Structure 1
Amino acid sequence: MRNKRLQNRITAGRFTLPTAIILSLFGWMLTSALLPEMPATESGYSLWQTVCSSYIPTWANTPLSFILYSIIGYFLIELNNTFAIIRMRASVQTSIYFLLMSVCPALHQLYAGDIASVAFLISLFFLFQGYQHTKPEGPLFYSFLFIGVGSLVFPQLTLFIPLFWIGAHSFQALTLKSFFGSLTGWFLPYWFLFGHAYFHDKMELFYQPFIELGTFHAITFSNFPLWEAATLGYLFLLFAVSSVHCLVAGYEDKIRTRSYLQFLIFLSLCIFGYILLQPMLTVHLLPLLLIGVSILAGHFVVLTNSRASNVFFICALAGLVLLFGFNLWTLL
């Protein structure tokens, strides 16, 4: 261990994940103490607002948000262990996810994007499962089923369907049967919503997700919060370095793993573009973005062992501390 660089000591250490969880909890408690009445950003989606006001008490917002992020952290480990994206049973991607979430105090409230991100990650799991599958209609049905479930609370998740079709095509899983199976999976939650709305004579419940999906907010950066700009800048730098490493050193991975990583790069880049087109939805899209960035960053820090990567790793850790302080300061 003495000969290993700090980067490798931390990423290969057995206490990395527990330490990240403890630091994350400390960040959440500090945020709650300094910003006890921080309001959640209104989504403008009446169905989600109705659910929040009717079934979720205000005091439960922060605990529920942390529980959802913990579920995502667990599934990130399962995703890597199942598909060997980082070529070892690593949990560093979950550690990175917890640390990135903790330095964004505004995300410690419950948003529709939090629930959507859980469905998004499970959908990714089934999409990866369809890689060169002999009967891909099954995995794609479940993948798009969870997109449909997530889109009930965050309708814009439906816009990721074409991206998942591109991913399925690159995984050689898109056939005529799997295409219609994916459409059936996506529409199934809406079929139940239609039955509920029709039975209770509240058809507006069925129309609301489609109305919200067709709503395009004005592109304006005049009211773009400083914490969002700083966080996105940090994430894009982390994403760019990790993506370049994946593309340059891709020959070291299996073809299957290379396909997974390339799709995650493409998906994360599209989310960055979506945030620029719809900055009003940043708080909902950031949890989705952090999934891809955490996996790519975990792949980078675990599988590199050079002086330059070690320096970048140390600077990234220092940047996390500075970013947390800056975000807190801007929200006070």
Structure 2
Amino acid sequence: MRSNRFQNKVATSNFTLPVAAFLTTLLWCAEGIYTLDRLLGWGVCGLTAYFWVETNNAHSLIRIRSRLTPSIYLWMTGCIFCLHPLQDGLIVSCLVLASYYLLFKSYQQTEAVSPIFHSFLCLGIGSLFFPQLLFFAPFYLWYTAVYLRSLTWRTFWAAMTGLILPYWFMAGYFLYTEDFGRFTGHFRELILFQPIYYENYRNFDFLQISTIGLVIAFTIIAALHGIRTSFNDKIRTRMFLYLILTQELLIVLLMALQPVHFQVLLGLLVMNSAPILSHYFALTSKRFTDAVFILFLFMFAALSFLNIWTQWLTF
């Protein structure tokens, strides 16, 4: 593989992550990092990027030494200004990534009670902020059975215990405060399915459409290449990437069916797209992929300038 192209230099450079962190901080400052909600959002974004560093170190999602996954996550999040304030989308993304890290540790382990319990615990805590996250729980069980080969009766009950545990404490708190209606109301949100009407999608503005279009378009290019060349990866890495790709499809499907949850699902989509894009840019070396990488940087930079310009016009 040739490694003298711009994308390869960026993928293997030790300065990529610090530069990405610096640019992301500048973008946050351009909108107003001095407010508490944006400062906390910046901190959660940095924590998620750190989790991607640890996940790559522990599970080798890319065959070469690269910090491109957290860098791409920081760059996309920095350019998407609606993700800057502290919100459920950022918190849920961080918790879902933590669940990935723990779930990957169960790969082909017959006694994977601890990692699966803690993975589903993170998923359960995330569902306190976004109840629809519980819809992913059956797929997590399917991942452990098909991709990770770690599902047994013991790990099944460990998963159920981890998923239910946050609600056990939540129910106890609301019983103590004599406000149990809020607990049942949390689950009522799961059956509130917004009817699929054209009007539901007309509420999206140009920035939202541009953002989701860019993320999905570049992810599709990367995903198709990853599927076509998956034989180059180890079986273990291949299963991890298939899991992430399946999650990506589910997130897009839920976003298409329930656009009312766009804000939270966008945060999840950006977090989930980062390893797919980094795998593509780090392990390819052609003129086309180099052009796609430059276009990726340019388009998200243009998106950030559009966000800044829109905000200046509102002053």
Q: What is the distance in 1 between the residues matched to 2:131 and 2:61?
A: 29
One-letter amino acid of the structure 1 residue matched with residue 31 of structure 2: T
Give the corresponding residue for 1:278.
258
One-letter amino acid of the structure 1 residue matched with residue 38 of structure 2: T
Q: What is the distance in 2 between the residues matched to 1:166 and 1:68?
A: 29
Summarize deviations over 1:125-165 as a string: whole Å, max 9, x none: 11111111121232211111111111112211111112212
Deviation at 1:329, TM superposition (A): 4.0
One-letter amino acid of the structure 2 residue matched with residue 12 of structure 1: T
Q: What is the distance in 2 between the residues matched to 1:3 and 1:259?
A: 27
- The normalised TM-score by structure 1 is 0.88
Q: What is the distance in 2 between the residues matched to 1:69 and 1:3?
A: 30
Q: What is the distance in 1 between the residues matched to 2:51 and 2:305?
A: 29
Summarize deviations over 1:178-225 as a string: whole Å, max 9, x none: 222211110001001111111221212322321222222344101012
One-letter amino acid of the structure 1 residue matched with residue 126 of structure 2: G
1:141 pairs with 2:117: yes
Give the corresponding residue for 1:111.
87
Give the corresponding residue for 2:206.
226
Q: What is the distance in 2 between the residues matched to 1:236 and 1:112?
A: 21
Counterpart mapping for 1:266-305 below 5 A: 266-305=246-285
Give the corresponding residue for 1:192.
169
Give the corresponding residue for 2:32.
32
Q: What is the distance in 2 between the residues matched to 1:265 and 1:184?
A: 26
Give the corresponding residue for 2:10.
10
Bigger mean CA offset, 102-111 vs 184-193:
102-111
Summarize deviations over 1:12-60 as a string: whole Å, max 9, x none: 1111111111111111111229xx9xxxxxxxxxxxxxxxxxxxxxx42
Summarize deviations over 1:293-317 as a string: whole Å, max 9, x none: 1011111111111111111111111
Runs of 4+ in 1 over 6 A off after TM superposition: none
Q: What is the distance in 2 between the residues matched to 1:183 and 1:328?
A: 45
One-letter amino acid of the structure 2 residue matched with residue 324 of structure 1: S
Give the corresponding residue for 2:144.
168
Q: Quick check: 1:74–1:94 contact (8 Å CA) kept in 2?
A: yes
Q: What is the distance in 1 between the residues matched to 2:25 and 2:38?
A: 11
Q: What is the distance in 1 between the residues matched to 2:224 and 2:277?
A: 11
Give the corresponding residue for 2:105.
129
- The normalised TM-score by structure 2 is 0.93
1:94 pairs with 2:70: yes
Closer, same or farther: CA 281–329 of 1 in aligned 2, 3 Å: farther
One-letter amino acid of the structure 1 residue matched with residue 88 of structure 2: A
Q: Quick check: 1:77–1:90 contact (8 Å CA) kept in 2?
A: no
Q: CA RMSD in A?
A: 1.8
List runs of 5+ in structure 1 lacking aligned partners: 37-58
Deviation at 1:177, TM superposition (A): 2.1
Give the corresponding residue for 1:260.
240
Give the corresponding residue for 1:318.
298
1:20 pairs with 2:20: yes
Q: What is the distance in 1 between the residues matched to 2:90 and 2:211?
A: 17
Q: Quick check: 2:40–2:86 contact (8 Å CA) kept in 1?
A: yes
Bigger mean CA offset, 16-25 vs 85-94:
85-94
**Number of paired residues?**
307
Q: Quick check: 1:75–1:121 contact (8 Å CA) kept in 2?
A: yes
Q: What is the distance in 1 between the residues matched to 2:205 and 2:143?
A: 33
Summarize deviations over 1:233-259 as a string: whole Å, max 9, x none: 111111111111211111111001001
What is the identity percentage for the equivalent residue pairs of Structure 1 and Structure 2? 33
Give the corresponding residue for 1:44.
none
Deviation at 1:327, TM superposition (A): 3.4
